[in-house]
Structure 1
Amino acid sequence: MAADQVVSRTVVINAPPERVFEVLANPYEHANFDGSGSVRGQLHGPRRLELGAKFGMRMRILLPYRIENEVVEFEPDRLIAWRHTGHHRWRYRLEPTGDGTRVTETFDWGTARSPKALELLGYPKRNARSIEQTLARLKKLVEERTG
């Protein structure tokens, strides 16, 4: 993970890590907290992700399309990351705090097949804004469910 090829943002969610991870590890929930507006829903896959699990999503950026993802990093209640055919990763790292969970979402394009192309297309800057919106939505969703 090259430091100049990642975008990360962090939020503290007032819930234990296992509650946050429960949402992240369920691909049927992803459209509920996606801040980019591109994730439209689940096509196939398990209800709970694990290392090596594959899941398909309905997406839309200008036009509708489908994408296949694979979980490539996994530590229960602490870390989950997936990639699709482009090989860039979306990673969520969870750290317990005294009052909840620090969640860091990272878009890592250093693992991409064509990192320079992603940079030229402006994805890192766009993804920074999307990550901020995603984390705000994730926080609201988890905290509302936790009560």
Structure 2
Amino acid sequence: MTDQTSITVSRTIDAPTKDVFEVLTNPERHAELDGSGFVIGDEKSDRITGAGQVFRMNMTGDHMGGDYQTDNTVVGYDPNHLVAWQTAPADTEPPGWEWVWRLEAQGAEATDVSLTYDWAKVTDPAILEKVSFPLVDRAALEASLDHLASAVSGT
């Protein structure tokens, strides 16, 4: 589904929901999952265990002039069903875009996974002028799902 303020991609991954959730909640694995090429690695972040938690990522991209860091505030957490965070440049408040991963078990060995990149809450005119949303396109999100499938299958 695509509208003016979000992109959602979905696929079924041949792995138990708990295994998919375990990978998604480990920031050390996010560079491995990222289809955009922006995520370099985590900054010694703990596993995501609940809403309100903040984890820091090392990033790179021409849109930010090269290397930078982000703080990611967990805004949704439901074990084996949902993990979501809002991203902001390090040491700043989230300006409104978020990443939402939803999981639905399809039996014991398969999981429907959807990834939503949503920028509907971005209202700061300076950010809207600087960042051309969507910064990450549908193909990059679909690549993230492909990477997740590979990560949980061990390939």
Does TM, scored on the shorter chain, surpass 0.5?
A: yes
Separation in structure 2 between the aligned mates of residue 141 and residue 61 of structure 1, nearest angstrom:
24
Residue in structure 1 matching 2:140, options 123, 130, 137: 130
**CA positional deviation for 1:118:** 7.4
Any idea what SS the aligned residue of 1:87 has? coil
Kindly tell me: are residues 15 and 133 of structure 1, through their superposed partners in 2, closer, same or farther at Cα, counting changes over 3 Å?
same
Task: Identify the range of structure 1 (82-91 vs 72-81) with the bigger mean alpha-carbon deviation.
Answer: 82-91
Query: SS of 1:123's equivalent?
Result: coil
Quote the residue 2:112 is aligned against.
102
Q: How many residues of Structure 1 are paired with residues of Structure 2 in the alignment?
A: 143
The alignment status of 1:89 with 2:106, answered yes or no, reads no
- Tell me which residue corresponds to 1:35: 35
TM-superposed CA distance for 1:119, in Å, is 10
Greater share of helix residues, 1 or 2?
Answer: 1
Q: Which segments of 5 or more consecutive residues in structure 2 lack a partner in the other structure?
A: 88-93
Q: Kindly indicate whether the alpha-carbon contact (under 8 Å) linking 2:9 and 2:114 is maintained by their aligned counterparts in 1.
A: yes
TM-score by length of 2: 0.83
Residue identity (%): 32
SS at 1:15 equivalent: coil
CA contact (8 A) 1:26 1:49 kept: no
Measured against aligned partners, the alpha-carbon deviations of 1:61-82 in whole angstroms (never above 9, x if no partner) come to 1200011111001100000100
> Mind listing any 5+ residue stretches in structure 1 that lack a counterpart?
none
TM-score, normalised via structure 1 length? 0.87
Q: Which residue of 1 aligns with 2:90?
A: none
How far apart are 1:123 and its partner, in Å? 1.6
- Contact 2:84–2:98, Cα closer than 8 Å, also in 1: yes
Q: Is the 8 A contact 1:49 1:71 kept in 2?
A: no
Distance change >3 Å, CA 81–CA 119, structure 1 → 2: farther
Q: Which moved more, 1:29-38 or 1:93-102?
A: 93-102
Aligned to 1:65: 68
Q: 1:57 to 1:140 in 2, by over 3 A?
A: same
